[in-house]
């Protein structure tokens, strides 16, 4: 077994293609923690004293978010929010309990809520209703819109200064490419950590893992002995979305040219940073006529209300 390229003492256990280094377990864990810290400092994602609401599921990425942030920030200022979507066979009580127990060991309290509690219907029930009406909507569209709404509402309720999500570099690069393909520069700007908030009702959202590869998050969770949720959401492969296709392409590009995802994010960050002033001049977003939450310019209803109205949930 070769020795670690960093400490030169312990056996290397992992090869990091984007740096060309072989690392031992400890140096790999240190590397992830340092890069999360660098990203937080680089964009002042979290400032000392900030109260941060962490959106956590039972998955590996949210474990890494919880584990790293509880080392880099006062754990008593962190609150986990676990949202049960209500998908048969996917949401399991033991996954939430395991996460809650782990968070408690790190001094972080976890609040659990669900779609059912928030709007009266589980995701399964919402999708069954939509399909009965012949609506061809992707469950992930409902799921994503509702999750964002719940996270923001809880952040306001709990008076959090920031919300943190566990999006990794893979997620961020996919979203950036999607926004480019859709010709949506506004969304591309909104992805940036220093993007202006377009409504006072939005609690600032930060993504401390945005420069950590998904495989690295998985490896970190494995090295730390975290047993994460294994069940996969049955809706994930239902319709091959644009994101799924982009993910596949980006993965093969990354395999051939390690570091590609980092370069995509770095390039977009730099372009956006050069144009941020323009976006600071934009007027605040209008409010949805139904729920009073911010919505896109020119829209009467927000996306969540529009989707729910379509399927007859008011
Ligand atoms: S796969 Fe789609 S529906 Fe399932 S939890 Fe993820 S976003 Fe929600
Ligand atoms: Zn080492
Ligand atoms: Zn609304």
Beta pairing partners, 112: 82
The pLDDT, as a whole number, for residue 240 is: 62
Which ligand is the nearest neighbour of the Cα of 300? 3
CATH number at residue 274: 3.40.50.620
Which residue's CA lies nearest to atom 4 of ligand 1? 233
Number of neighbours of residue 10 by Cβ within 10 angstroms:
15
Question: For the residues of 23-46, what is the DSSP string, one character each?
Answer: E-HHHHHHHHHHHHHHHHHHTT-S
108 vs 8: CA distance, rounded Å: 35
| 120 torsion bin: left (phi>0), alpha (psi -120 to 50), beta (else) | left
* Position with higher pLDDT, 242 vs 11: 11
Q: Confirm whether 169 is domain-assigned.
A: yes
In a domain, 4, yes or no: no
**Cβ–ligand 1 contact at 85 (below 6 Å):** yes
Is the four-CA dihedral 254, 38, 179, 119 of positive or negative sign? positive
Give the tens place of pLDDT for each residue, 14-55.
Answer: 999 999 999 999 999 999 999 999 999 999 999 999 999 999
Q: Specify the higher pLDDT residue, 241 or 221.
A: 221
Q: By the 8 A CB rule, do 51 and 159 touch?
A: yes
Question: Which range marks the domain in which residue 45 is found?
Answer: 36-282
- Distance, in Å, from the CA atom of 44 to the CA atom of 46, rounded to the nearest integer, reads 5
For position 197, what pLDDT does the model report? Answer: 87
Average pLDDT over residues 266-285: 90
* Assigned domain for 295 exists: no
In a domain, residue 14? The reply is no
Q: How many independent structural domains does the chain possess?
A: 1
Q: Pick the atom of ligand 1 nearest to 139's CA.
A: 3
Cα–Cα distance for residue pair 120/117, rounded to 1 Å: 6
Q: Is residue 22 part of a domain?
A: no
pLDDT at 98 over 90: no
Cα–Cα distance for residue pair 252/262, rounded to 1 Å: 14
């Amino acid at each position: 077994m070769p020795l670690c390229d960093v400490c030169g003492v312990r056996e290397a256990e992992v090869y990091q293609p984007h740096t060309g280094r072989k690392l031992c377990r400890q140096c790999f864990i240190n590397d992830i923690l340092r890069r999360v810290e660098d990203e937080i400092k680089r964009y002042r994602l979290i400032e000392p004293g900030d109260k941060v609401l962490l959106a956590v599921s039972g998955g590996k990425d949210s474990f890494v978010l919880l584990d790293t942030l509880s080392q880099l920030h006062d754990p008593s200022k962190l609150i986990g929010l676990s949202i049960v979507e209500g998908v048969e066979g996917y949401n399991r009580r033991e996954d939430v309990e395991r996460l809650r127990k782990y968070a408690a060991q790190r001094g972080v309290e976890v609040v659990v809520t669900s779609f059912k509690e928030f709007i009266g219907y589980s995701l399964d029930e919402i999708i069954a209703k939509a399909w009965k009406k012949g609506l061809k909507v992707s469950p992930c569209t409902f799921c994503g819109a509702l999750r964002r709404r719940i996270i923001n509402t809880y952040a306001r309720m709990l008076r959090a200064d920031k919300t943190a999500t566990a999006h990794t570099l893979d997620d961020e690069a996919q979203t950036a490419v999607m926004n480019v393909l859709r010709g949506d520069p506004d969304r591309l700007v909104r992805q940036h950590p220093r993007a202006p908030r377009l409504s006072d009702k939005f609690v600032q959202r930060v993504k401390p893992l945005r420069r950590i590869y998904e495989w690295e998050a998985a490896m970190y969770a494995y090295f730390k002995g975290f047993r994460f949720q294994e069940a996969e959401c049955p809706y994930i492969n239902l319709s091959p979305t644009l994101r799924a296709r982009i993910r596949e392409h980006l993965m093969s590009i990354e395999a051939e040219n390690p570091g590609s995802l980092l370069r995509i994010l770095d390039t977009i960050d730099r372009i956006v940073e050069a144009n941020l002033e323009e976006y600071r001049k934009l007027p605040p977003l209008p409010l949805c006529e139904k729920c009073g939450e911010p919505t896109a310019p020119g829209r009467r209803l927000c996306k969540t209300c529009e989707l729910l109205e379509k399927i007859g949930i008011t």
